Structure 1
Amino acid sequence: MRIAVLDNDRSQTDLVCQVLSSAGHSCHSYSTSRDMLANLRRDSFDMLIIHWQVPDASGEEVLRAVREKLSPTLPVLFITGRSSEDDIVAGLAAGADDYMIKPIRRGELVARVQALLRRAYPAQNEAEQIQFGPYIFQARTGRVTMQGKPIEVTQKEFDLALLFFRNLGRPLSRAYILEAVWARDIQVPSRTMDTHVSRVRSKLQLRPEHGFRLAPVYSYGYRLEQMQS
């Protein structure tokens, strides 16, 4: 999962990112709310971790911007150095999903992050056989069928298709797709992603007449939409 971390304390963001990276997540740190919010408009993340007080904004202001302009459902964990009940209530009332009080404890951080991600993305934790309408994905074998008929796909095409279905209706940035499917292979040219998207659209027949549409999002990435019947 891709997680954005906002804190002007470099040692704190280094610690959080080290812990989350060790747990298998991809961590991106920001020291100002302006930088983080600007990047959130260009890129996709699965979760935010924000310090409740950074020099250029309060956690409440950051949360309001995220909820109103970006996503009402993106899981948010806030970190505070204050343990007063008023601060905690204010954070949760502003739209945060959970909180932690400094000093950060590694095991607790991982546990809270994993719990929020499981709740926010239940499709990521389903059984080996995952079904979306007429499509069935066999996670262990990398096979996919449509209305019971097998579709010949490569492993990358399978991973890409499953990524879109697991994020149905959610715009995914090119950077997010690249990191999720091609991992750390930064040598992958942009046209490679576009070619794979085109093949997935064609092979799985992701067209409105079949109930789904895989469409580009201008200057951002792609989104798989389920059409209204």
Structure 2
Amino acid sequence: MARGKILVVEDDKDILNLVAWHLKAADYEVLKAEDGVSALEKSLREKPDLIVLDLMLPGMDGLDVCKAIKRQQETASIPIIMLTARGEEADRILGLELGGDDYVVKPFSPKELVLRVQAVLRRSAPPTPTQDALTVEGLRVDPHAHRVWIDKREVTLTATEFKLLLELMTHKGRVLSRDRLLDRVWGYQFDGYARTVDTHIRRLRQKLEDYAGFVETIRGVGYRFRDRSGS
């Protein structure tokens, strides 16, 4: 039985087939798309568990694909790992801000990509029902149901945003370093990934609306979750 369904979007057939082979070897069901339009059609029709998305696509590029996927309710919660060229840092950051969960820089190790896929899917899986729902004023997080409410109105977070918020709220009042968050939320630490944490924090704050200030930046260290009382 397959561990999950992965849509790989890549216009280079050699890379597409290489990634597909390694994912199949890791017991994933693999769907393929070579352009943005096909990627959107298959994401809507097949509802994959995760999308591996190249940013440099003919016609409709990967950033537009990511934006379209996150805009549609049926596909908004699907995690996305972006494949980018080494010199596309601005595009990587923009992709994360549009809703991407992670990125892998070309040239990359297919085995590393499989590990990233596994890590992102772990974030998407509901935790064991040992942790009670967390409530701070009008902000409520249910770890088991993987749901978040702001003033009794449900909001949609990506798997990474949810795990990040849960980690901060679970350790309310404590300063968590970027390295700690990378290890606990992303499941790895690599040079240059502190920027990834900052981008996801910025995106999370936007979705928290009036409660954005609960996530404090501790300069030179990391982040802390505090309510209006300061606790």
TM-score norm. by structure 2 comes to 0.51
Q: CA deviation at 1:102?
A: 0.7
Partner of residue 55 from structure 1, selected from 53, 58, 65: 58
1:110 — aligned with what? 114
Query: Are residues 1:72 and 2:76 paired?
Result: yes
Q: CA deviation at 1:84?
A: 4.0
Runs of at least 5 residues in structure 2 that lack an aligned partner in the other structure: 131-144, 147-231
Larger Rg: 1
Contact 1:83–1:101 (8 Å) recurs in 2: no
Q: CA deviation at 1:27?
A: 0.8
Partner of residue 17 from structure 2, selected from 11, 14, 30: 14
1:90 — aligned with what? 94
**For 1:101-152, what per-residue CA distance to the aligned partner results, in whole angstroms no more than 9, with x for missing partners?**
11120221111110000001236xx5xxx89xxxxxxxxxxxxxxxxxxxxx
Partner of residue 26 from structure 2, selected from 23, 28, 36: 23
- Which runs of at least 4 in structure 1 moved beyond 6 Å after TM superposition? none
Task: Tell me, in whole angstroms, the C-alpha distance in 1 between the residues paired with 2:25 and 2:60.
Answer: 29
When residues 44 and 72 of structure 1 are mapped into structure 2, their CA distance, relative to the original with a 3 A threshold, is closer
Partner of 1:37, secondary structure, is helix
Task: Tell me, in whole angstroms, the C-alpha distance in 2 between the residues paired with 1:41 and 1:73.
Answer: 12
Runs of at least 5 residues in structure 1 that lack an aligned partner in the other structure: 132-165, 168-229
Q: CA deviation at 1:35?
A: 1.2
Contact 1:3–1:26 (8 Å) recurs in 2: yes
**For 1:23-82, what per-residue CA distance to the aligned partner results, in whole angstroms no more than 9, with x for missing partners?**
110111111111121122222210000100100212211011101113222110000123
2:181 — aligned with what? none
Overall identity of the aligned pairs, in %: 30
RMSD: 2.3
Partner of residue 124 from structure 2, selected from 97, 100, 120: 120
Count of aligned residue pairs for this structure pair: 129
Task: Tell me, in whole angstroms, the C-alpha distance in 2 between the residues paired with 1:30 and 1:111.
Answer: 21
Task: Tell me, in whole angstroms, the C-alpha distance in 1 between the residues paired with 2:96 and 2:6.
Answer: 19
Partner of 1:13, secondary structure, is helix
Partner of 1:34, secondary structure, is helix
Task: Tell me, in whole angstroms, the C-alpha distance in 2 between the residues paired with 1:41 and 1:111.
Answer: 25
